[in-house]
Amino acid sequence: MLTDPASTAAAADAIWDGLPGDRYALDDRERYVESPRKSCDPGAMITYRGTKLRYSVPVTVHSAFRERLERFETVAAEVATRVYGRTPQRIRHAGGYNCRTSTGRHRGRLSEHALGNAIDIVGFDFGPAKKTDVLPADLPKPLRHGFQVRVQKHWGSSRSASAALHARFLRELTEELRDRRDIFRGLIGPADPKHADHLHFDVSPWRYVRL
């Protein structure tokens, strides 16, 4: 029997499907709290600048989330090298730790941002190609110079060969992240109207994918 993708997505919202052995430091944290602000723990946060790749500005996250970001950087570097022949100079983000509750239908539940357990990615900045970079033969010429990839502008775009390649980069990146169950559990992108300009990644106890 064919299942309606919408109902499948809704059902997935409540399904715990962490890998066996994939225990995570924040799995047992209570998310439904009386006073969200009292539940925030700024002392558990670290300032992180990136390991494999650099962030445009340091991101504040829970110490447990750092390792997930490192894995994310490795995937982003691999996909970028495949698509553009080099890694991004900077990852542009719009915030990690933010002491607030969720909006919409999950009002009253702590946002994963309140736990420092999420990041919002706006895009990637690339520098000019170096002589030593092995560029794909079909790389559009303008992309030998520095350029920016933005979720808002390039997700699903095909206005030019360059834009179409940026769309491919974002698609392949999110597909790999979706398939890698050891990195993020929540992945939300422009399929959700509130995420038209960024990708939200978290390690909530619930698997939720809407890209």
Which residue lies nearer to Zn ion by CB, 39 or 98? 98
Binding test (CB under 5 A) with Zn ion, winner from 61, 120, 124, 143: 120
Task: Identify which of residues 126 and 208 has a Cβ nearer to Zn ion in the complex.
Answer: 208
Does residue 200 bind Zn ion (CB under 5 A)? yes
Cβ proximity to Zn ion: between 154 and 198 the closer is 198
Q: How far is the CB of 45 from Zn ion (least distance, A)?
A: 16
- Owner of token pair 């110079």: 145
C-beta of 200: minimal distance to Zn ion in Å? 3
- Regarding 93 and contact with Zn ion (CB under 5 A), the answer is no
Site for Zn ion in 33-52 (CB under 5 A): none
Buried-exposed string 14-51: b where 16+ CB fall within 10 A, e elsewhere: eeeebeeeeebebeebebebeebeebbeeeebbebebe
How many beta carbons lie within 10 A of that of residue 129, not counting itself? 17
Cβ proximity of 174 and 149 under 8 Å: no
**Least distance (Å) between residue 27 CB and Zn ion:** 19
Report the site for Zn ion in 50-89 (rule: CB under 5 A): none
- Answer for the pair 203, 113: CB distance below 8 angstroms, yes or no: no
Residue 138's identity, in one-letter code, is D
Residues in contact with Zn ion by CB under 5 A are 118, 120, 200
